[in-house]
Amino acid sequence: MNTVTAKQLKQKTGEVIKKVRAGEKLTVTYRGKPVAVIVPAAMEEENALKELRSFDEAWKDIEKTLKRTEPEFKGWGEATRWVRNRT
């Protein structure tokens, strides 16, 4: 993976974008330390999609969590009174 400094990124944004569009991954450094990675959008989307669970699986977890918790307020009226009395 190639590197580009923050200064180079600022001065040569067009060239950096061309490299990324061509499929190259770039590490951005600031004062010699890596601070970001620029990758083509298609690669990032693929990686993000790999980490996602199916909707059904995620929804089951949400329902399980909701069943384990008790609401803090009995209704919207009680919640509204609480918010208004916080001052």
What's the pLDDT tens digit per position in 24-79? 999 999 999 999 999 888 766 777 667 778 889 889 999 999 888 888 889 999 99
Contact between 26 and 50 (Cβ < 8 Å):
no
Domain spans in the chain, listed from the N-terminal domain onward: 2-44, 54-84
Say what the pLDDT of residue 43 is.
67
pTM of the model: 0.49
- Residue 10: pLDDT band (50, 70, 90) is very high
Helices then strands, each counted (H, E), the chain = 5, 3
Going 38 to 43 to 44 to 45, the CA torsion angle's sign is positive
2-44 CATH choice from 3.10.20.30, 3.40.1620.10, 3.30.420.10, 3.10.180.10? 3.40.1620.10
